[in-house]
Amino acid sequence: MSITVATTAGSTVTKSLTTLTSHPAGTPSTLPPGGRREDDRQQPCTAHPDWCTEAGVHDAHLGARHVVMGNDGRELLDARLLDFSDSQPVIGLGETDTDAAEARAKAQDFRKFADDLETLADLMDATTSSEQPSIPDVASCPGGVSFCTGDSEDHKNPNEHYHHGPLTAMGARRSYAGQHGDGIMAFHLSQINDETPGLDFVADGGWPTLPLEEVDELISDMSLHLTNLCAARAQLAGLMSRRRTSRMCATPQRTWTYDDRHGTQHTVTCPSWCSNTHTDDLDRNRHPADVYHQLYGAEASAEYSEAYEEYESWPLLCATLGVSPNSTVSPAYRVPHVLVEVAADTYTRPMDPDQLSEFIQTVAGQLDELRVMHSRLTEARAEWATRTDPTTSTETA
């Protein structure tokens, strides 16, 4: 057979792979004169032993295929590592070739697609459920809470309304759920009156002993359940964000005056989100460009150092919303923007919403890379433990 692989935009290379698939694995083939010995044909790939599935002498290095199947049994998408002679390894994604950076970017698109697909499933469930009169109508919530199912029992007390969203559970009607026929590890959004919303988790009782097949079912369902939990977390974050925005809009804007270094008086009105006290701006030694409105995000830190110096805890990816209306540095500072302290005293440029979104995507990609590296580290430590004599080691990890 032959396989066609795109190596550059607008061009393809066709390579004959007759020796790869002419015979099922383990079936002897007729060797040409001077052919290889049986042990040569079974020799693992020496160029890419960590991922190539081909054995013996071969030009085309093919990794294991990862396939998404449709409900009709046909392949929707596949991906695998490829390397042909005189070329660089690529990831074959469907009919196209991608490098590592492109693959990570596409993985982000797939995650968003998966979330969108989950949303469609939720909409379908909601549509189906709305046809059943036993399920309350979400719009019937007396308090107008967006996620509330409007259960009349939870709103009987005029002084205390308990709002909750639909219950999401894992493994409904699965045998591993045991007596919990509606599923286990259940959660739903909840809120009492006008208090801060949160996620309620419902769990009681024990699980039955699971055979191997049901453990596999549990693992498969956990993946989907985690996706649902992430979607609920995103919904909760959106609710919290809207509450904060509502409160900021309801906060009276502060107006204050100061005298600059030349004795000229200026009147300033802070944006609703500004958390600066501006006490330093009242020292009569300021220039209008020095006035900076800011809102500090949550702080994070990690231990690191320069040139093998002593490790200390320093800021990491700390974000600040700000604006300096009279900035002389750049017009980008004169409109609301976000600065991120990537590391101690190392900042990004002032970013607009699109630039911040791009920055987030980059950081998310690096988080995925760190997770991969974490797995590699775990494997490397396990391998190292088998070859290192702890009694002769001079260093404690």
Give me the pLDDT at residue 230, please. Answer: 80
Torsions phi, psi for 251 (to 5 deg): -80, 125
State the Cα angle at 161 between 160 and 162, rounded to 5°.
120
The token pair that represents 281 in the structure block: 């701006």
Q: One digit per residue, pLDDT tens: the chain, 397 residues?
A: 333 333 333 333 333 333 333 344 444 444 444 444 555 567 888 888 888 888 888 888 889 999 888 888 888 889 999 988 656 899 999 888 888 888 888 888 888 888 778 777 766 765 554 434 334 444 478 778 888 888 888 888 878 888 888 878 777 666 666 666 667 777 788 888 888 888 777 666 555 666 777 777 777 777 777 877 887 787 777 777 666 555 555 445 689 899 888 889 999 999 988 988 888 888 888 889 999 999 998 888 888 887 777 888 889 999 999 999 999 999 999 999 999 999 988 999 999 999 999 999 899 889 888 988 998 998 898 888 888 665 555 454 5
Closest alpha carbon to 209 in 221, 218, 200, 201: 218
* CB half-sphere exposure, 330, CA atoms < 13 A: 8
The rounded distance, in Å, linking the Cα atoms of 295 and 339 is 11
Give me the pLDDT at residue 385, please. Answer: 86
Q: How far is CA 256 from CA 127, 176, 269, 281, in A?
A: 53, 64, 7, 10
Q: Maximum CA pair distance of the chain? A: 99
Closest alpha carbon to 328 in 365, 294, 299, 291: 291
- The burial of 230, by beta-carbon neighbours within 10 Å (0-12 exposed, 13-18 middle, 19 or more buried), is given as middle
Closest alpha carbon to 90 in 183, 13, 180, 164: 13
| Cβ atoms of 350 and 339 closer than 8 Å | yes
Give me the pLDDT at residue 342, please. Answer: 93
Instruction: Count other C-beta atoms under 10 Å from residue 293's C-beta.
Output: 20
The token pair that represents 308 in the structure block: 């093998």
